[in-house]
Amino acid sequence: MPRTCLLPLVALLFLANTATAAPRPNVIYIMTDDLGYGDLGCFGQKQIRTPNLDRLAAAGMKLTDYYAGCTVCRPSRLVLWTGRHTGHTPISSNAGYVFKPEDVTVAELLNNAGYATGGVGKWAMGKPGSGGEPNRHGFDFWCGYLDQGEAHNYYPTHLWQCAGEKVEKVPLEGNVLLEEPRARGRVAHPEHRVTYSHDVMTEAALEFIRRNKDRPFLLHVHWTIPHANNEGGSVIGDGMEVPDYGIYKEKPWPSTAKGQAAMITRMDADVGRMVALLEELGLDRRTLVIFTSDNGPHSEGGHKHEYFDANGPLRGHKRDLYEGGIRVPTIACWPGTIEAGSTTAEPLAFYDFLPTACELAGVTPPEAIDGVSFLPTLLGKPDRQSHHDYLYWKYGKKEAVRMGTWKAVRLSPGGPVELYDLNGDIGESQDVAAKEPEMVERMEAAMRRAVAR
């Protein structure tokens, strides 16, 4: 699989239209948690309002065939950070993993090249004192959750801030946890919910932009919205935690649906605030903003993904390797560089972000990665785009491969391979494995290659 960092391409395509050499661009990677392919207006949602993201898509590019690293949280993030698919990562499920010194992250690569590197939200790669904290792996700054289980709670007693050599608690005023054993320390008392963690992390992200406006920066915004508080769903019957229902207050919906919709619209408003800040600081035309989700939509915390048709035309949801579990709504916007209102169906995945960021920064990526830079696609030069032979996912015992428009899913080791032609069957409703034995053999061979070292 090609793995190149074509600095001349940047020079020819990005700098050629400028009178003088442009500074290296900023990169903001916004990743929400459990947002489905059909949850945004620009991807077909009819009931939940997302005006800012719809405008972002109109001003930039929709990536219709962009895939998460996995169908659940931790391995998906591991794929994003390291540029390796789940056939080559240490975990392919939500099993615990702590970053090791030898793990090379995209933040480390850009930080070494002079980028300020920051992040907010869910980390999931190492608790305090583990050695896996963000500031041990390339980040100058991080504010949010280090433990992904604690990230279920939107009203925790504290977040964590990592800066320099320090890893410190950030107390959140007024929040008190329930002592109910089933809550596992992850549910706030309904009468003591004062400080909403999403808002704290958003302010930290905006401040990072202000603080680094005069130098190139990489910012990861890993919001936990609209992930459910799973324990809250079982203990108090509603895990969709949000300060208010906003424009959905009077809707004849269950509270869980109101909460789900309100969380997404609140997040959308914060995307609008971030874009407005970039414009205010004069950074918008030298900042690439990518928006996506870590996996498909959930049916947790009392909410069901079917209520708002969160997976749109796709089959499956979180924890599936069908399209609904891994194909995610993705937007890239870079005013003046990415063509407004453009769309690409190039099959891409989380592990392509590392080489793309490296190419933007003029950095050579590590050899042992699975990704390809998709900068040519963003620049409207598809003839220069390196293509994947196949895309691969593993989730526990499940495997999936996409090769061109063909998609294969195997639910157990040695089990039968289901085969779908996404060209005309994006919903994976017609298994054509029996009619296409040669393609099944090619898919099985790809599965074997994907896990080979």
- Checking if the pLDDT of 14 tops 90, the result is no
Task: Give yes or no: residues 341 and 438 share one domain.
Answer: no
Q: Which amino acid is at 432?
A: V
Do residues 446 and 334 share a domain? no
DSSP 8-state code for residue 429: -
Burial class (CB in 10 A: 0-12, 13-18, 19+), 299: middle
pLDDT of residue 22: 66
390-403 burial, b at 16+ Cβ within 10 Å, e below that, comes to: bbbbbbbebbbbbb
Convert the pLDDT of each residue in 39-59 to its tens digit.
999 999 999 999 999 999 999
Task: Answer yes or no: is 427 within a domain.
Answer: yes
Do 35 and 124 belong together in one domain? Answer: yes
Per the domain annotation, does 1 fall within a domain?
no
Residue 12 has pLDDT above 50, yes or no: no
361 falls within a domain: yes
Q: pLDDT tens across 57-99, in order?
A: 999 999 999 999 999 999 999 999 999 999 999 999 999 999 9
E strands of 7-60, at which residues?
A: 26-32
Please say which residue of 341, 367, 389 terminates a domain. Answer: 389
In a domain, 127, yes or no: yes
- Enumerate the β-bridge partners of residue 145: 122
Residue 286 lies in a domain: yes
Q: Mind listing the pLDDT tens digit for each residue in 391-425?
A: 999 999 999 999 999 999 999 999 999 999 999 99
Q: What is the pLDDT of residue 450?
A: 98
What radius of gyration do the chain's Cα atoms show?
A: 21
Residue where a domain stops, chosen among 389, 413, 439: 389
pLDDT digits (tens, 9 = 90+) for 320-329: 999 999 999 9
Answer whether residue 215 is part of any domain: yes
> Do 369 and 448 sit in the same domain of this protein?
no
Q: Do residues 28 and 287 touch, judged by C-beta distance below 8 A?
A: yes
- Domain containing 434 equals 397-453
| pLDDT tens-digit readout, 184-243 | 999 999 999 999 999 999 999 999 999 999 999 999 999 999 999 999 999 999 999 999
- Reported as a pLDDT band with limits 50, 70 and 90, residue 451 is very high
Helical spans, DSSP H, in 6-50: 7-13
Q: Are residues 185 and 38 in the same domain?
A: yes
Residue with tokens 């990005």: 14
Angle between helices 255-280 and 51-59 (to 10 degrees): 50
Q: Tell me if 227 is assigned to some domain.
A: yes
Q: What's the CATH code of the domain at 360?
A: 3.40.720.10
What percent of the chain has a predicted confidence (pLDDT) above 90? 94
Say yes or no: 46 and 177 in one domain.
yes
> Six-digit token pair at 265?
């619209």
Q: Which residue has the tokens 């526990």?
A: 396
Query: Any residues with CB less than 8 A from the CB of 452 and at least 6 apart, and which?
Result: none
User: pTM above the 0.85 mark?
Assistant: yes
pLDDT tier at 15, thresholds 50, 70, 90: very low
| Strand (E) or helix (H) holding 287 | strand 287-293
More confident residue, 17 or 364: 364
Q: What is the pLDDT of residues 285-301, one digit of tens each?
A: 999 999 999 999 999 99
What single-letter DSSP state applies at residue 144? E
Do residue 126 and residue 245 come from a single domain? yes
Domain match, 279 and 421 both: no
Report the sign of the C-alpha dihedral through residues 156, 142, 163, 204, in that order. negative
**Number of domains within the chain:** 2
Same domain, 402 and 379: no
Shared domain for 350 and 206, answered yes or no, is yes
Burial class (CB in 10 A: 0-12, 13-18, 19+), 166: exposed
Give the mean pLDDT of 141-168: 97
Does residue 20 register a pLDDT over 50?
no
106 lies in the same domain as 236: yes
Last residue of a domain, one of 341, 371, 389: 389
- Cα–Cα distance measured from residue 57 to residue 208, given in angstroms and rounded to the nearest whole number: 24
What's the mean pLDDT in 268-278? 98
Q: Is pLDDT above 50 for 32?
A: yes
Assess whether pLDDT exceeds 70 at residue 33.
Answer: yes
pLDDT, residue 23, reads: 84
| Residue 417's CATH number | 3.30.1120.10
Query: How high is the pLDDT of residue 453?
Result: 66
Residue 351 lies inside a defined structural domain of this protein = yes
Cα separation, 356 vs 332, whole angstroms: 12
Statement: residue 161 has pLDDT above 50: yes
C-alpha torsion angle, residues 76, 80, 83, 86 (rounded to 10): 0
Residue 2 predicted with pLDDT over 90:
no
Residue 364 pLDDT greater than 80, yes or no: yes
Q: Helix 255-280 and helix 197-211: axis angle, to 10°?
A: 10
Asked whether residue 350 falls in the same domain as residue 414, the answer is no
